[in-house]
Amino acid sequence: MSFSVTDFFSMTDFYSGAVFWFWLTLFSIAVVIFFERRNPSTTMTWLLLLILLPVAGLVMYFVFGENLRKKNSKKIQKMKDALLKADDTRAAYDLVYQIEEQKKWLDSEASDAFFNRDDKQAIRLLLNSGNTPVTMGNDLKIFEEGISKFEKLLEDISKAEKHIHMEYYIIKDDNMGNRLREALIERARAGVKIKILYDPIGCYPLLITRRHFFGSMRAEGIEIFAFMQDKRLYYRNINYRNHRKIAIIDGKVGYLGGINIGDEYVHEDPRFGFWRDTHLRFEGNAVVMLQMVFLQDWYHRTGRSEFRKSYFHVFDEPKGPTTVQIVASGTDSEHPTIYQSFFYNITHAQQSVYIQSPYFVPDEALLMALKSAVLSGVDVKIMFPGIPDHFTVYHASQSYLSEIAELGAKVYIYKKGFIHSKVMMVDHEFASVGTANMDVRSFKINAEINALIYDDETLCHLYDMFDRDLRNCELLDPDVYLKKTIRRRFVEGACRLFSPIL
């Protein structure tokens, strides 16, 4: 077989054309990133990655880099607004009316008996940015580890009579997952209608090698869907995950917090040992707000409006003393509401800011808010795990923690096992418990949901919980960072460099 000069030049032209189109694509993406009006540090990180590693950077941008909040939020928000204003939705539960009435009430003197000025400002912020009214008269139970949470959840499921709605980031085909599966199948056979939303990345083994897990439930009439932003382009969803962990049973009982479905959450993973987490169980009007979030997510995924009166239980009498505002955020919301809540409360702190989070990768604004709090004399305490579960995020977190500890914040390393709890408390006036970590991904990328708590009794329980956890911690010595090896400091610095896109 001969190879002519013409063939040579044809191949040369092909490769030259391919190189030309590659660099043109790279340049075009760089221009798009530049004009997207992102945070400057995020923009520079992506541009640096494209310059240093053009092939890998191009692939990573297509998978992780698209700003879907900017592209989709207005469209999705219009869809949500239309859904909430639809006649069938308002007939089931008129959230639009509730929000308007609560705004008027907060502006009146009648609300002064329940909230101070700062709390009213915080509540009003989230009413405007997230359409999330505050609810009063809730009964709340706090779970500090997985066994007690699962046992109570399974008990509530066994008592379900009408419907069960669940939305989880991770569901595993293990002992705990199968106990849940069997409980749901038993209720489905009893006539209970069950809907489940799951994240396709968090549950990927169930989609590849363990399809029977969901298949056995679908065979019993349980409706199960993956939560995706765009079903046509799967790769675009990899970076945008549904990190919510909620359950609503008969519209009367709701669950929210950090505990997924799997054996490690009940201390059965030898790598982590004891798994310290925080999860909440509600009875009261907070459950109505959880139901609203789930049904909006269901509509977003399936295109089917399931707003019915039967899904919204009317609580005529208070179930307990807890005051709660349920807040959800993600690329399906116009504003980063959880982030806004954290920023507002940290910048208004007068006495203390206590944080538990398995990841600590704040953006520049939140880091400056925390630094300013420390330097103004606010008692800032941060609790962080001593066991890494994600290499890059863990070492990036270490860099940020060392920096803020040098200014006077107290950083505690949890030693009993792994702490996955996502809690923030400010001035004994406010607390947040939920699924959002103290990192950029939770605030600006993932779909998250938190409970914001304002009543004294629940706040006292949470502060007592934090104090008990301190007994299993070691205080980080900021001078230790200066003694770290050059290699360790280089690793932490490199991981921190990419923190804006983690």
Q: Which residues are catalytic, by number?
A: 243, 245, 250, 420, 422, 427
Phi, psi of 141 (to 5 degrees): -120, 135
Helix and strand numbers (H, E) in the chain are 19, 18
Pairing of strands 360-361, 193-198: unpaired
Structural tokens at position 329: 């955020």
Cα 477–chain centre separation:
30
SS3 content of the chain, % helix, strand, coil (to 5): 50, 20, 30
Question: Rounded to an integer, what distance in angstroms lies between the CA atom of residue 264 and that of residue 495?
Answer: 26
Q: In the chain, what is the greatest distance between 2 CA atoms, to the nearest angstrom?
A: 93
Cβ contact 225:231 at 8 Å: no
Torsion of CA 96, 138, 122, 361, to 10 degrees: -110
Provide the 8-state DSSP code for 261: B
Cβ contact 443:342 at 8 Å: yes
Give the number of other CB atoms < 10 A from CB of residue 351: 11
Structural tokens at position 213: 């897990």
Cβ contact 460:383 at 8 Å: no
First to last CA, the chain: 52
Cβ contact 404:370 at 8 Å: yes
Is residue 243 helix, strand or coil?
coil
- The dihedral built from the CA positions of residue 455, 457, 463 and 466, taken in this order, carries a sign that is negative
